[in-house]
Structure 1
Amino acid sequence: MQFEESQSQHNDIYAVIDLGSNSFHMLMVKVVAGSVQVIGRVKRKVRLAAGLNDSLVLSKEAMTRGWECLALFAERLQDIPASNIRIVGTATLRLARNVKTFLTEAEQILGHKIEVISGEEEARIIYLGVAHTSNCEANRLVIDIGGASTEVVVGQGFQPLLLSSLNMGCVTYLERYFQNNELSESNFNAAIAAAELEIHKVADEYLAQGWQNAVGASGTVQALQEILVAQGKDEVITLSRLETILQQALACGHMDQLAIHGLAQERKQVFPSGLAILIALFRVLQIKGMTLSGGALREGVLYGMLSQLQHQDVRARTVQSMMVRYFIDQQQANRVADMAAMLAQQLDPQWNLQSFEGLSILRCGALLHELGLLIEYKNHHHHGAYIINHAELPGFTRAQQQLLMALVYNHRADLNKDILARQTMTSVLLAVRLTRILRLAVILSMRRRHEALPAVQVQAQAEGLHLKLPDGWLDHHPLMRAELEQEIAYQQQAGWQLMVH
């Protein structure tokens, strides 16, 4: 028997296609439990900008590469409601004088309209993509190095404050400054100088605006972060680290010989030009450090269609979605989170738990500590940690996700100090302190009843913990006494002192 699915069954599936100057991307998601679940990603290197000549005419070869790619995308769009699909074109299609020729054929292939967005609109959407996938209350600088343009935005929360689209990109600069494929000082210097000249047009306005955090939303920034991690560094990109990687590129001498440890094969072609542009941005805008964002243009377009998910706390939305999807006992999760917060509040003066958003990550760890129970009880802490490590978690940087994973893995039973020691941006000491607090909160809440929670006091003397319970309380709770005695042994084995009074 043959079954046919009606299109109405796909009302919760959305697709975004981004016709970029370097690559065409398609993102497909399903809305699940108040969050988005990626069900498909397709990326093809089209290098549209390479087909744009000095007269801004797009070559037939470049257009053909684009049409062939869109023919692949078209198949996936057939069963999705038209209102759930949005297709946008960026810098190269903005510039091309014969863009109508490309669009007429492309729209016929896809069966949908293509919207060529302005540079300012692209910058605005990129910022919203970052805002909807990362947690930040302070002013932030967002940079996206595309194939033919670079978007620079300063904003706060979901509100962009300053927008620019600069006429420089990794494909156009590759064609202009690395045409001979030589990785020479003269080629890099020419590319950096040209980029600096372009950035100086807007630099004063951006420096006057100011920002607290800088994030990158492009393949260049992702490639650099992968290189840093592969070479044993944390994920923060700095100017000195960029200049070190520049020296590694120069040592290769030629594009065919480009072999930097951690640089993926698929990123090699436009990496030198992207690196030159990023160095110029760091120098002119005096950027101290940058991390990778969780989203950009495609995510901005997507969340623009999802009105029900807009203007919420991104991290809280992600955690709530995980709790629903994995059938976590929300009352118990909040009970443990409140106990952890109460213990942390008492210890914060001695232990400085607020750094690296430690208290927020502790609460998230408490809310998700039973994530793995859906699989089985005995090793549920390991299952939960595995899920967190491999899930897409909007609102968390990769370093925060690693800390969250370490907390869930270590919330009970034997401690794995190696996982705690593998933190990148977060101090290992903070990870240890948060773990110890979460373990105590889980034990003290084990009765799963609010009225059974003890009035507890905790103090720290260096790294020693003193837990004080009401007189006679342990006599009336022999199982709790046994659990705490076992916990003393676990922490002692790890080299940490815990005393219960």
Structure 2
Amino acid sequence: MVETHVLPAAPLVAAIDLGSNSFHMMVARIEHGEMRPVERLAEPVQLASGMRNGALCDDAIARGLECLARFRQALDTLKPGRVRIVGTNALRVARNGRHFRTVAEKVVGHPVEVISGREEARLVYLGVAHTLADDDARLVVDIGGGSTEFIIGERFEPRLMESLHMGCVSYGDRFFGDGKITDKAFEQAYLAAYREVLNIRTAYKRHGWSNVVGSSGTLRSLESVIRAQGWSEAGITGDNLKKLRKQLGKYRSVKELCALAGLSDRRRNVFASGLAISCAFFDALGIEHMSTSSGALREGLIYDLMGRHSHEDVRERSVTAMMQRYGVDEAAARQVEETARYLFVCARESWGLADEDQDLLVWAARLHEVGLAIAHSQFHKHGQYLVERSDLPGFSTTEQIEIGLLVRGHRQKFPQKEFAFKANGLRETLERLCILLRLAVMFKFVIPVDGSPSYHLQVAGRGVSLNVPGSWLQEHPLTQFALQSEQAYLARAGYTLEIARS
């Protein structure tokens, strides 16, 4: 099991959601296993607005970086491991998303992860579930700027999760980009959203739910307008959405929506698109009533972070499930893991490795043979594909890519070109973790004497030295051959491997 790192009493943690519509930051204090919000900030960055040819526009990038520069002040006192910053749909699809992320990390001073649509759905559900008391099956819907998440779950366990490519910002640009509100544009937006929801309708209706909860600012904005019209005390109904659609017909442009009671200025630009999406999924799924929740992605990030520090890391379950799904030899994988842990301890201080680096190494050790489920030939490449493309709850897209690279590099040629695409510091760390994993795999046929390894590793810069007893190599000819081959592989990557007899 990956080692967890217990937080001291009442620590501060923070989560930032780099949404396609708004950037949200939440700082919270953890007391007695509960989250107590200290600060909530939100800015309508509209990162996805104005995307051209699949790229974020310069104005949106500038707005995002300026926002993060302001957020940074609240993060400067927090240590690494207590802050999670995630990007969602806009950064998933943008061609220049990697560039934005690189610059954003320098501005905010912490790593920025990009999460998959289903991981976003899981975290949204986690945030909402902690605000509800009932145990019934529930459908949670979150309309974001570039995607809408649909999750069915019970208590804290999501059962079905999907992320559809329809959001209030992307649909606002697509159907109401000229600032005009017409019946034709609304109908086109409604039909486009309806067709998206049809892709999940059968599976979701078959599973069923008892109540429906909306978690996004878009849905809370609709509820606010409905309440201001005097149509309902709380919640959203299908009938009220129809009334609201009719009411929208009285306005000819987004600017005129300033006269609509209950609608805030920051929500005007995405109100028509958000209403069209809501009408579509209400009709497609046959929803009659929806309540709203204050819980959302940022709350889910905090609760997930709490779980990582309290022996409830969902990533552990994801890796174990993947090992079982693809028939990984658990005993062999655990042996490689234990060796990797030992080598990590040997190299940690000299190479400046962190706890998070050990986690990556351990997960890669457990999954290094997962590609055998496809074929023995090139199984390290098959393994990389499976790790990168599978739904692994708890992992960011970045983490899956990094683990996949380690799996790819655990045997045969050292994947220097693949690592070259990473930033300098990260590339060096991943190369070093890969060397440790390769050595751990080579020692899988070495049986420790009295449970303790008879070899020791020393590292310095790009030099690796393995100290073994005098007759050790002769007693382990297979490992000796592998180490001699490894010397050549590492030399081509700019590393030296020295084998010293003690």
TM-score of Structure 1 vs Structure 2, range by shorter chain: 0.5 to 0.7
Question: Equivalents in 1 of 2:10, 2:99: separation in Å?
Answer: 32
Residues 175-324 of structure 1: pairs in structure 2 closer than 5 A: 175-232=173-230, 233-258=232-257, 259-307=259-307
Pair 128,88 (structure 1): closer, same or farther in 2 beyond 3 Å: same
| Partners of 1:20 and 1:147 within 8 A in 2 | yes
Question: Equivalents in 2 of 1:131, 1:108: separation in Å?
Answer: 33
Q: Report deviation, 1:261.
A: 1.6
Pair 201,310 (structure 1): closer, same or farther in 2 beyond 3 Å: farther
| Partners of 1:124 and 1:160 within 8 A in 2 | yes
CA deviation vs aligned residue, 1:320-359 (integer Å, no higher than 9, x gap) = xxxxxxxxxxxxxxxxxxxxxxxxxxxxxxxxxxxxxxxx
| SS of corresponding position for 1:203 | helix
CA deviation vs aligned residue, 1:203-250 (integer Å, no higher than 9, x gap) = 111111110000001111111221232233221211110011111111
The correspondence for 2:131, drawn from 133, 141, 152, is 133
Pair 25,10 (structure 1): closer, same or farther in 2 beyond 3 Å: farther
Give 2:37's aligned residue: 38
Give 1:488's aligned residue: none
What is the total number of aligned residue pairs between the two structures?
A: 304
Give 1:172's aligned residue: 170
| SS of corresponding position for 1:82 | coil
Question: Equivalents in 2 of 1:308, 1:60: separation in Å?
Answer: 36
| SS of corresponding position for 2:162 | strand
Give the letter for the 2:195 counterpart. L
Identity percentage of aligned residues: 43
Question: Equivalents in 2 of 1:239, 1:183: separation in Å?
Answer: 21
Residues 394-409 of structure 1: pairs in structure 2 closer than 5 A: none
Residues 282-431 of structure 1: pairs in structure 2 closer than 5 A: 282-307=282-307
What TM-score comes out, normalization by structure 1 length?
0.58
| SS of corresponding position for 2:204 | helix
What stretches of structure 2 of length at least 5 have no aligned partner? Answer: 1-6, 313-502
Question: Equivalents in 1 of 2:50, 2:310: separation in Å?
Answer: 37
| SS of corresponding position for 2:16 | strand
Question: Equivalents in 2 of 1:10, 1:74: separation in Å?
Answer: 23
| SS of corresponding position for 1:281 | helix
Q: Report deviation, 1:124.
A: 0.8
What TM-score comes out, normalization by structure 2 length?
0.58
| Partners of 1:10 and 1:79 within 8 A in 2 | no
| SS of corresponding position for 1:76 | helix
Question: Equivalents in 1 of 2:48, 2:222: separation in Å?
Answer: 22
Pair 84,198 (structure 1): closer, same or farther in 2 beyond 3 Å: same
Pair 308,9 (structure 1): closer, same or farther in 2 beyond 3 Å: closer
| SS of corresponding position for 2:177 | coil
Question: Equivalents in 2 of 1:266, 1:93: separation in Å?
Answer: 22
What stretches of structure 1 of length at least 5 have no aligned partner? Answer: 1-7, 313-501
| SS of corresponding position for 2:180 | coil
Pair 119,308 (structure 1): closer, same or farther in 2 beyond 3 Å: closer
Pair 292,112 (structure 1): closer, same or farther in 2 beyond 3 Å: same
| Partners of 2:137 and 2:153 within 8 A in 1 | yes
Give the letter for the 1:294 counterpart. S
| Partners of 1:18 and 1:298 within 8 A in 2 | yes
Question: Equivalents in 2 of 1:132, 1:122: separation in Å?
Answer: 16
Question: Equivalents in 2 of 1:308, 1:32: separation in Å?
Answer: 16
Residues 67-86 of structure 1: pairs in structure 2 closer than 5 A: 67-86=65-84
Give 1:352's aligned residue: none
Q: Are residues 1:100 and 2:98 paired?
A: yes
| Partners of 2:9 and 2:31 within 8 A in 1 | no
| Partners of 1:18 and 1:89 within 8 A in 2 | yes
Question: Equivalents in 1 of 2:227, 2:39: separation in Å?
Answer: 26
| Partners of 1:142 and 1:154 within 8 A in 2 | yes
Q: Report deviation, 1:286.
A: 0.6
CA deviation vs aligned residue, 1:22-54 (integer Å, no higher than 9, x gap) = 11111011124543222111111111111322x
Give the letter for the 1:113 counterpart. P
Question: Equivalents in 1 of 2:34, 2:221: separation in Å?
Answer: 27
Give 2:417's aligned residue: none
Q: Bigger shift: 253-262 or 102-111?
A: 253-262
Question: Equivalents in 1 of 2:309, 2:274: separation in Å?
Answer: 33
Give the letter for the 2:173 counterpart. E
Q: Are residues 1:58 and 2:56 paired?
A: yes
Question: Equivalents in 1 of 2:173, 2:8: separation in Å?
Answer: 46
| Partners of 1:128 and 1:158 within 8 A in 2 | yes
| SS of corresponding position for 2:71 | helix
| SS of corresponding position for 2:250 | helix
Q: Report deviation, 1:9.
A: 8.8
Give 2:148's aligned residue: 150
Give the letter for the 1:224 counterpart. L
Q: Report deviation, 1:10.
A: 8.9
Question: Equivalents in 1 of 2:126, 2:143: separation in Å?
Answer: 16
| Partners of 1:134 and 1:294 within 8 A in 2 | no
| Partners of 1:142 and 1:152 within 8 A in 2 | yes
RMSD in angstroms over aligned alpha carbons? 2.0
Give 1:461's aligned residue: none
Q: Report deviation, 1:20.
A: 0.3
Q: Report deviation, 1:281.
A: 0.4
Pair 155,310 (structure 1): closer, same or farther in 2 beyond 3 Å: farther
Question: Equivalents in 1 of 2:128, 2:63: separation in Å?
Answer: 29
Pair 65,263 (structure 1): closer, same or farther in 2 beyond 3 Å: same
Pair 235,310 (structure 1): closer, same or farther in 2 beyond 3 Å: farther
| SS of corresponding position for 1:262 | coil
| SS of corresponding position for 2:102 | helix
Q: Report deviation, 1:309.
A: 10
Give the letter for the 2:130 counterpart. H
